[in-house]
Amino acid sequence: MNSDNNIFTVILSCPDRIGLVAKISQFFYQREMNITDLDEHVDKENKMFFIRLEIDRSGAKNKNFKKDFDNLALSVNANWTMKKNSEKVKLAVFVSKQVHCLHEILWLTKIGELNADIKVIISNHEDLRKIAEEYEIPFYHLAVNEQNKIEQENAQLRILKDNKVEGIVLARYMQILSSKFVKKFENKIINIHHSFLPAFKGADPYRKAFERGVKLIGATSHFVTESLDDGPIIEQEVTRITHKDSLFSLKRKGKDLERKVLARAVYLFAENKILSYENKTIIFD
């Protein structure tokens, strides 16, 4: 009988060669594991192969097959990950004062549309504590300034470790994370930037867009890297504005984009559908 505990996802990347799909499929067939979903992509320019499979192992002869699959991966010089679909990804949400993105993530998690477990909310301000309490999620206020940044980041890292956090969502967290912090969560920190990157990087992008007189504004969710607003892009969306829009109405429209774009990025992360490669992302169906 099928159950969520028997469904898991494998993501693999390696140099492209003939017969990879057949080789991987044969591996699972021989162990009586059913491939219920498969999405693959070949980067022809860089000659790289990428594949995501969902596997049902309810009828498997040998459920301890990781070692065998690791040998297969070694034979084709592949990197791979495996995750049980029933396991919710453990997330921390970092916030400052704005609430729209936090509300979206918490609500979608509560109604079961995000395969996530929000372990903690961490903020450099007290403003959103009440919302965390309403959702019964631990809230940590760690004010950050130039003098205590290292100390407070170390405290954040201790909280994340204690709660076994696997990914971080920056829901309009208005602080720049240090290189040390980012390296500990490489390709696991999801940010929302309130512009259609690479346009209007850095602070106050709505005002910059308004002053430039653009006709489209956007929002971008991306992984955080050491370079500001320059990490692999996960999701983007735009909306049209006109000369009639004020800076206030432009920001209002932008906030709607932000919450939707960030939520979609978190969904893809929780469903194990993102693979980062060469400062880009492959988003599997």
All residues at 6 or more sequence positions from 130 whose CB lies less than 8 Å from its CB, including other chains? none
Q: What is the DSSP letter of 249?
A: H
Q: Where are the alpha helices (DSSP H) in the chain?
A: 20-30, 66-75, 100-110, 129-134, 149-162, 179-184, 205-212, 247-270
Asked if 57 and 84 count as a contact pair (C-beta separation under 8 A), the reply is no
CA distance 123 to 172: 10
Is residue 15 reached through a cis peptide bond, with omega within 30 degrees of 0 on the bond before it? no
DSSP lists the bridge partners of residue 10 as 53, 82
Sign (positive or negative) of CA dihedral 145, 149, 153, 155? negative
Q: One of 68, 229, 245, 256 is an active-site residue; which one?
A: 229
CA distance 154 to 285: 37
**Three-state SS at 189:** strand
Within 13 Å and on the Cβ side, how many CA atoms surround 100? 14
Among 196, 171, 194, 198, which Cα is nearest to 251's?
Answer: 194
Compute the chain's Rg from CA coordinates.
21
DSSP lists the bridge partners of residue 191 as 170, 222
229 catalytic per annotation: yes
Return the number of other C-beta atoms located less than 10 Å from residue 242's C-beta. 7
Catalytic residue numbers read 229
